[in-house]
Structure 1
Amino acid sequence: MSTVSVREATDADAAEIARIQRVTWRTAYQGVLTERTLAELDSADTETRWAEAIEHPGSRVHVAVEGGFTVGFCVAGPAPRDDVAGADGSLPEDADRTGLIGALLVEPRWARRGHGARLLAAAAAGLRELGADRGVTWATESDAATLSFFRRAGWHPDGTVRTLDTGERRLRELRLTGALDIHLVS
């Protein structure tokens, strides 16, 4: 059996993170995202943006590793006010203690091996270190796999919906929220 782990990303991981995003989005979001959006992932700028995200102060990028392969990643940090505000713009009392899971992707061929749970647990621990008490994330309304994953982790839709305009179509996303005391069961 291969060794599995999660660690914080370094600059050297940017290319693999970009590759995982390309492969995963093309598999999971085919028909949801436009061809133009998917084609933009082939740009050299994608790797540069991931290198910048890894170095961004306040946020943490984690990677999941199995054997010698990077198989997934998660981005977490303090939640921007827009991500925790209600539909009317009001902020909850715990807005300053809320973290954001900005992305969590596992390459499809490595799915169902616990990598997503390990990534979420590591990100949640990092958010707690930053003073967060709960987390939020956004999931496309039609993404049953992601919604199911977060529900199993105890995160649920809170009734807030946003619509993203890709220029070619609109995507509805649900905001999910949950506790950061995530514990893995062996």
Structure 2
Amino acid sequence: MADAAVRTAKPEDVPEIARIHRDTWRTAYRELLPDEVLDGLSDTTEAWAEAVAHARVFVATEGQWLVGFCVAGTAPDTEVARADGALPDDAATTALVSVLVEPRWGRRGHGARLLATAGQALLEGGCTRGIAWIPEADKSSGGFYAKAGWEADGTVRTLDAGGRPVREIRVSGGLTPPLTA
């Protein structure tokens, strides 16, 4: 494997982050989401420019290629609340994390490096644990987070994806090693 690394995203990474987001979702979620939802991802560049400018976004690289990304930050109350709406005691120190690696670069440790780097930054910022929402049918993401020691916490939600319900589960875990996904 060529040199692999994780670094903070830069403005010039935005077009490639948007492409990875679009292409990976179109590949990974083709059976899960309607075409009109996936087609609506055609230009997320502006949203990613905003994220890179104002949030914690990390990118994974292999050699000269940008192969994945992670966006992470303190979780809004609406994301960390239990199903009954109550907030857990650690709500203020819970982070919301999303990791995405382009499938052709998968299973090479990029996701684990992204999660570990984000975890370290979040710990330094005062966070104590992380959560992520994943489609229940996405076994690849479920396996990734499970290998990192994250587990479903029993909270689910159903999203309307162009008239098709998509059930998501929330997984939760620590921000310290072993993040060995």
What is the TM-score when the length of structure 2 is the normalising length?
Answer: 0.96
Within-5 A mapping of 1:80-119: 80-101=76-97, 103-119=98-114
Displacement of 1:67 after TM fit?
0.3
Within-5 A mapping of 1:71-150: 71-101=67-97, 103-150=98-145
In structure 2, the partner of 1:7 is 7
- Partner SS for 1:13: helix
Deviation readout 1:112-144 (Å, 9 max, x if unpaired)? 100000000011111111100101000100000
In structure 1, the partner of 2:160 is 165
Displacement of 1:27 after TM fit?
1.1
Deviation readout 1:31-61 (Å, 9 max, x if unpaired)? 2111111111213xx11110001112xx300
Q: Match for 1:10: what amino acid?
A: K
RMSD over aligned CA atoms reads 1.1
Deviation readout 1:49-103 (Å, 9 max, x if unpaired)? 10001112xx3000000000000000000000011101111001100011110x2
- Partner SS for 1:15: helix
User: Matched residues in 2 for 1:106 and 1:160: separation?
Assistant: 25
- Partner SS for 1:41: helix
User: Matched residues in 2 for 1:136 and 1:53: separation?
Assistant: 18
Q: Match for 2:157: what amino acid?
A: R
What fraction of aligned residue pairs are identical, expressed as a percent?
54
- 2:151 maps to which of 156, 170, 180: 156
User: Matched residues in 2 for 1:184 and 1:93: separation?
Assistant: 24
Is there any run of 5+ residues in structure 1 with no aligned partner, and where? none
In structure 2, the partner of 1:24 is 24
What is the TM-score when the length of structure 1 is the normalising length?
Answer: 0.94
Q: Is residue 2:42 matched to residue 1:47? A: no
Displacement of 1:182 after TM fit?
2.4
User: Matched residues in 2 for 1:112 and 1:139: separation?
Assistant: 18
CA contact (8 A) 2:115 2:179 kept: no
CA contact (8 A) 2:148 2:178 kept: no
User: Matched residues in 2 for 1:122 and 1:31: separation?
Assistant: 31
User: Matched residues in 2 for 1:67 and 1:118: separation?
Assistant: 15
User: Matched residues in 1 for 2:179 and 2:140: separation?
Assistant: 19
Displacement of 1:184 after TM fit?
5.7
Is there any run of 5+ residues in structure 2 with no aligned partner, and where? none
